[in-house]
């Protein structure tokens, strides 16, 4: 499949998924109503296959939309909704904490809100600092959190908050034998980069 066709297939798949979600049909139900195999329908929504016009017309009839709806280009909505039942915590490679993004797929974002589950004291690894452009806000949702900002160390309890410039080397850990949860907001721009130190020395 050419690059142009791949782009069109992705657009059709994304529009199909959005239309299906809007009318409240599961992938399995829509596949059954259109006599398409669930495997084919899954590939279609992921943009891995280019459907025929006849196939798109069958799906359009089932969704009660015009076939042109599958070809429209993305329009910036200006908002995203994050459902708790679809939230996924992922563990960054080599890390002991997990994060869950709270505003995935927002167009031109200026903020990056996310939840962080910090491991209890016994699970912590080596000392690790992070620096980045922009600023960061942290609110303690559960437990106690030890926040290190440069050479200063602060212990925050549930309900406490901190706000810092991202260029300050920083890290957060749970000082207790239980997991802590924080709500963080990273103010873009800037990419994160980590600074490690076993002796406490900050290095880029």
Helix 53-63 vs helix 3-23: crossing angle, to nearest 10: 20
Coil vs helix vs strand at 174 = coil
DSSP 61-91: HHHTS-GGGGTPPP---S-----GGG---B-
User: pTM here?
Assistant: 0.58
Mean pLDDT over all residues of the chain?
Answer: 84
pLDDT given at position 157 = 97
pLDDT given at position 77 = 64
Place domain 84-196 in its CATH homologous superfamily: Jelly Rolls (2.60.120.10)
Written out in words, the top-level CATH class of the domain with range 3-70 is mainly alpha
Instruction: Tell me the mean pLDDT in the region 77-95.
Output: 81
Domain ranges of the chain: 3-70, 84-196
> Other CB atoms closer than 10 Å to residue 14's CB: what's the count?
15
Instruction: Tell me the mean pLDDT in the region 86-100.
Output: 84
Q: What separation in angstroms does the CA of 10 have from each of 6, 43, 80, 94, 96? A: 6, 10, 20, 32, 35
Q: How far apart are CA 27 and CA 37, in angstroms?
A: 10
pLDDT given at position 6 = 82
- How many alpha carbons fall within 13 Å on the CB side of residue 103? 17
Say if residues 37 and 31 touch (Cβ distance below 8 Å): yes
Q: How far apart are CA 22 and CA 87, in angstroms?
A: 19
């Amino acid at each position: 499949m050419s690059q142009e066709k791949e782009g069109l297939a992705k657009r059709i798949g994304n529009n199909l998924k959005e239309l299906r979600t809007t009318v409240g049909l599961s992938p399995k139900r829509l596949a059954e109503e259109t006599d398409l195999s669930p495997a084919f329908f899954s590939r279609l929504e992921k943009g891995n296959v280019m459907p025929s016009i006849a196939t798109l017309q069958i799906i359009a009839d089932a969704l009660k939309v015009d076939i042109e709806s599958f070809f429209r280009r993305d329009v910036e909505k200006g908002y995203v909704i994050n459902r708790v039942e679809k939230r996924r915590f992922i563990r960054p490679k080599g890390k002991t904490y997990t994060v869950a993004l709270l505003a995935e797929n927002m167009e031109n974002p200026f903020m990056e809100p996310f939840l962080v589950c910090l491991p209890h004291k016994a699970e912590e690894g080596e000392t690790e600092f992070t620096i980045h452009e922009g600023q960061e806000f942290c609110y303690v949702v559960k437990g106690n959190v030890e926040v290190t900002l440069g050479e200063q160390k602060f212990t925050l309890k549930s309900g406490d908050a901190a706000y810092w410039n991202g260029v300050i080397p920083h890290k957060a850990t749970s000082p207790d034998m239980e997991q802590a949860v924080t709500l963080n907001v990273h103010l873009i721009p800037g990419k994160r980069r980590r600074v490690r130190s076993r002796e406490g020395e900050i290095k880029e």
